[in-house]
Amino acid sequence: MEALDGLLRDALLTTAVIALPMLAVAALVGTAVAVVQAATQVQEQTLTLLPKILAVGSTVAVFGGAGMHLLVTLFDRALAAIPVLSAGW
């Protein structure tokens, strides 16, 4: 049971590490666009969406390789834990 707990903890931690840069960039860009919209009183919906898409896409391009490396490592650990997990049943 400890192997399953460790694997689930690693999966949640990996998910958080991969998602955090994208969420932070989207929040920062969204805040900056909201401030500009409030200052200029331009309320165009595409003005809020396009910068976020570009910023998150560039963040994925920069950090995507490291994220995939983390996912491969997690997958290797999950495959290695199969015998331990199946022996516990």
Q: How far is CA 69 from its chain centroid?
A: 13
Q: What is the tens place of the pLDDT at every residue in 60-75? A: 999 999 999 999 999 9
> What value does the mean pLDDT take over residues 17-22?
95
pLDDT over threshold 90, residue 85: no
Contact by Cβ (8 Å): 80, 58: no
What is the rounded end-to-end Cα distance, in angstroms, of the chain? 9
Tokens read off for 82: 């199969």
Report residue 88's pLDDT band, with 50, 70 and 90 as the boundaries: low
Give the total number of structural domains in the chain.
1
Across all residues in the chain, what is the average pLDDT?
91
Q: Which domain holds residue 69?
A: 2-87
Which residue bears the tokens 């995939």? 68
Report residue 43's pLDDT band, with 50, 70 and 90 as the boundaries: confident
> What value does the mean pLDDT take over residues 29-38?
92
